[in-house]
Amino acid sequence: MKQQVPVVLNYSNTVTQQRVADAINYLGASPIMSRERLAVKDFMTLAQSTVFNLGTTRESEVPLFIETGQMANQLAKPVILDPVAVNVPYQGHLAQTIMEKVKVALIRGNAAEIGWFAGAEVSSRGIDALGASSVMVAKQAALKTGAIIVQSGKVDIITDGERVAYVNYDNPLLAVNVGAGDVLSGLLGATLGTDADAFEAAVAATAALGWAGQQASQRYAKAPSFYMDATLDALYTIKDQDLETKEVVWHA
């Protein structure tokens, strides 16, 4: 990724826009943060991937998402969807409307959000998943949507419906920080923007954030604001061998 420096076009959650842009840049990619419809063609020519975050999306912006997504599909560039609170009816309407017109390569969400795509009932409160992570639900969501699923939680699950990988760092302060999931979605846009296998790229991004969070927890286990900055700092220093750890488990 650092050799190719992919450009990631982000229709980001406005709450976390700066943090997501920084994370992508620190990892070695290049972010574009835009919501201008007149710039879609120009930015899609530059970008290698697109990330849609529905956290602060308005109904009036859905045509922009669809136009961008369809252009990305035509150019064979992956679309990553972060379906914030999709199990809330209005948010579900947004996601469904977009996915009816756009082929999504990867969906990143918590257990409740991924459960929605699988048609499973998973308890949730707001954006936080309360139900236990389930690999079967994640696999079902992948098979129903045709997308790679990255299910964030105490143990992250990555699956394409057949292959499964687990990232088991359990960084509780990532859950405390609003927007840590948005950061992961941005990092997924960065790694999927390379010419690597998409599933392996998804595992790499998830492992990178997990590893960075672990490094930060060694310094700021009880200081959540300093912790997140330290996590971003760790992303800047990450090397290939840092991803080859016992916390990342692959299954065929």
Instruction: Tell me the binding residues for ATP.
Output: 108, 152
> Distances in Å between the alpha carbon of 65 and those of 24, 33, 77, 127, 231?
20, 13, 14, 21, 30
Work out whether strand 164-167 and strand 156-159 pair parallel, antiparallel, or are unpaired.
antiparallel
- Which residues are annotated as part of the binding site for substrate? 33, 179
Residues 6+ apart with CB under 8 A from 122: 87, 111, 112, 114, 115, 116, 129, 130, 131, 134, 137
Q: Binding-site residues, please?
A: 33, 108, 152, 179
Distance CA 57, CA 136 (A): 30
